[in-house]
Amino acid sequence: MTTSTPRQDGNTARRRGTRALVIDAAVRLVASRGFSATSVDDIAAEAGVAKGSVYYNFTSKSDILEAALDEGTARLRAALSEARDAAPDAGRVDAMVRALLVAVHSYPDLAKLLAAEVFRAEREWQQSIAQLRAETISMFALEIRARRPGEDVSLVAAAVFGATLVAGLEWLVFQPDRTLDEVHASVRSLTSSL
């Protein structure tokens, strides 16, 4: 018996490719220039597509960033889950710290965007950032709570996430000559009691 997978028509594949180009271009530009200083024209030019193609795929500049944050949340959640599930119980927080550092290094523009936007409550995509933050921090909180039953670990989990994100950005921007192992060891020194 043979199974077949549904064939995608060329338009669907092309649209998916255009969406990815636009999202990547928007994240790059907003991470370097800021949201207000980035126009849809800039995004189209950076992506190498027509402005009409941007509007065919997205309703607005905010919609593009919403899509980027949704994809980033899914990627980060998967990376943290995989690292957590592969580690022994006592090493789960540390494995997630390392996975977060790898994610920051692999997707530096998204990490910069997240760090810049996480506390801006007036943005249209604040809900998406809040979701990314909540999901990520809750993964850390679940593992920390297993080691500290009865404690309110929400701030501890937020601190671990924040310290790891900032250490990853420090590594990218100011200390790129450091290795992943060095950066991980530095963060581990802060989280070793967890």
HSE-CB for 94 with a 13 A CA cutoff: 17
More confident site: 30 or 2: 30
Q: Could you say which architecture CATH assigns to the domain 61-192?
A: Orthogonal Bundle (1.10)
pLDDT band, very low/low/confident/very high, at 168 (cuts 50, 70, 90): very high
101 has a pLDDT exceeding 60: yes
What are the two backbone dihedrals, phi and then psi, of residue 119, each rounded to the nearest 5 degrees?
A: -110, 10
How far from 117 is each of 129, 163, 182, 184, CA to CA, in Å? 8, 16, 27, 24
Among 39-43, 55-59, 126-130, where is mean pLDDT lowest?
A: 126-130
User: In whole angstroms, what is the distance from residue 70 CA to residue 130 CA?
Assistant: 11
Does CATH number 2.60.120.10 belong to domain 7-58?
no
93 has a pLDDT exceeding 90: yes
**Average pLDDT of the segment spanning 164-183:** 95
**Average pLDDT of the segment spanning 56-68:** 91
How high is the pLDDT of residue 147? 87
User: In whole angstroms, what is the distance from residue 166 CA to residue 186 CA?
Assistant: 12
Q: Give residue limits of the domains in the chain.
A: 7-58, 61-192
How high is the pLDDT of residue 54? 95
User: In whole angstroms, what is the distance from residue 113 CA to residue 192 CA?
Assistant: 28
* % residues pLDDT > 70 (the chain): 90
Contact 186, 170 (CB under 8 A): no
Q: What is the pLDDT of residues 104-138, one digit of tens each?
A: 999 999 888 888 777 776 777 677 777 788 888 99
Contact 26, 65 (CB under 8 A): yes
What are the two backbone dihedrals, phi and then psi, of residue 148, each rounded to the nearest 5 degrees?
A: -130, 65
pLDDT band, very low/low/confident/very high, at 15 (cuts 50, 70, 90): low
Q: What is the mean pLDDT of the chain?
A: 87
For the entire predicted model, the pTM comes to 0.82
7 has a pLDDT exceeding 90: no
Task: Please give the torsion angle defined by the CA atoms of residues 148, 150, 152 and 158, in that order, rounded to the nearest 10 degrees.
Answer: 30
**Which helix H or strand E contains 69, and what residues bound it?**
helix 61-86
How high is the pLDDT of residue 88? 95
- 3-class DSSP assignment, residue 37: coil
